[in-house]
Amino acid sequence: MKGAYYTGKYRNLFKEAGYSDEEIQAKIKKCFNTVFYGGKDERFFEKAGEDMGYFIDTGNIDARTEGMSYGMMLCVQMDWKEEFDCFWKWAKTYMYNTEGKFKGYFGWSCTLDGRKNSEGPAPDGEEFFAMALFFASHRWGDGEGIFNYSKEAKQLLHDCIHREDGLEMWDHENKLIKFVPGCGWSDPSYHLAHFYELFAQWANEEDREFWKEAAHASREYLKKACHPVTGLAAEYAEFDGRPFGSYEQIGRHFGSRHDWFYSDSYRVAANIGLDYEWFAADEWNTECADRIQKFFAENVKNDEYMTYETDGRVIDQPALHPVGLIATLAAASLAAKGEYAMEYVKKFFNTELRTGDRRYYDNCLYLFALLALSGNYRIW
């Protein structure tokens, strides 16, 4: 099998599941309009003046590089240039570090009036910023200043890997993305080999071999980080794939355990699915997607999703983002070939956007799954 990068063909799993084009398009339109322009208790996109805007993390009341870069990716896929530029200008105006220890990176969290809560970056923001910018360049063409999208993307990727102060975002030796610059471990959900394959073509020429190696390294890393029976990955993991530590080791730094399958981890299933859809580089993606779906299909009743050890043992704590988990389980169907693949597509199609204070993260994952499963999460 060849991926969409080679064939130009993207699967529409909703249509394969029996939904009509009219039903699918109506759902996409409704959900995007709700998130961007719905009522104040539904949306989490806010304009800031005429030409800037941001996503609010409604659970924490801040703007994060995760959400800003997600917003840009969603907009370029939808051909919403005005909103894309609003996100990008806000991020460059308020989040970007023009000097200091983290020069060239984006502070991962800001107050809604633009003050940095932290100057330190979260690498998943940078990789999504870069990919969205390349897609914008190819879809709309480069503009002037910060809207010279391809120039901005190339500079950002350069700054992520060309540092001599130990604050590079990808480890120089093993080519694995770090949880944060300066640390010695990773976050499995940050590993986007399908992005790195494209960076290997579009980044500065001298960096292209690095990105090709990073794509291979990330695919091999996920084979170690995802449990061989359940398919589940931890939120943080060592460079050898083992779940990283316990509360005693890292809780004093990050406030709780992160060696279990929890909120960040949900994204791994969706990433495995999209990597397979775009490149189909490794049949392991199918095997792992099948394991993840099988685990939840056989162990969760009445949508009572919990927190789990990576080996599947239940931790007595409900999932914080159950709608996001359903979305990513469905997105895994882009790679899955087992008995539950279409079941999760249908389950997701019949799941509504989340409401309430925690809607931001769930509904970001929801919109990505909506695009991916309808054949609209594309390489531009």
CA dist., res. 200 & res. 196, Å (int): 6
pLDDT at 244: 86
pLDDT at 23: 98
Q: Which of 59, 51, 86 is nearest to 72 (CA)?
A: 86
CA dist., res. 259 & res. 208, Å (int): 33
CB 355, CB 338: distance < 8 Å: no
pLDDT at 37: 98
CB 213, CB 177: distance < 8 Å: no
CA dist., res. 368 & res. 345, Å (int): 13
Burial class for 300, CB neighbours closer than 10 Å (0-12, 13-18, 19+): middle
Looking up tokens 């809604």 gives 112
Class of domain 1-43+227-380: mainly alpha
Where in the chain are the domains? 1-43+227-380
pLDDT at 257: 78
CA dist., res. 31 & res. 21, Å (int): 16
CA dist., res. 219 & res. 188, Å (int): 10
Burial class for 177, CB neighbours closer than 10 Å (0-12, 13-18, 19+): buried
CA dist., res. 327 & res. 7, Å (int): 26
CA dist., res. 21 & res. 32, Å (int): 17
CA dist., res. 67 & res. 85, Å (int): 14
| Count of all residues that appear for the chain in the document | 380
CB 122, CB 65: distance < 8 Å: yes
Could you give the angle at which helices 123-140 and 193-202 cross, rounded to 10 degrees? 50
Low-confidence spans in the chain with pLDDT less than 70: 246-256
Hey, which residues are catalytic here? 66, 264
Residue 267 token pair: 């994204």
pTM for the model stands at 0.96
Write b or e for each residue in 313-329: b if 16 or more Cβ atoms lie within 10 A of its Cβ, otherwise e. Answer: eeeeeebbbbbbbbbbb
CA dist., res. 153 & res. 306, Å (int): 38
Beta bridge partners of 63: 110
pLDDT at 247: 46
CA 373 to chain centre: 15
First to last CA, the chain: 21
pLDDT at 86: 98
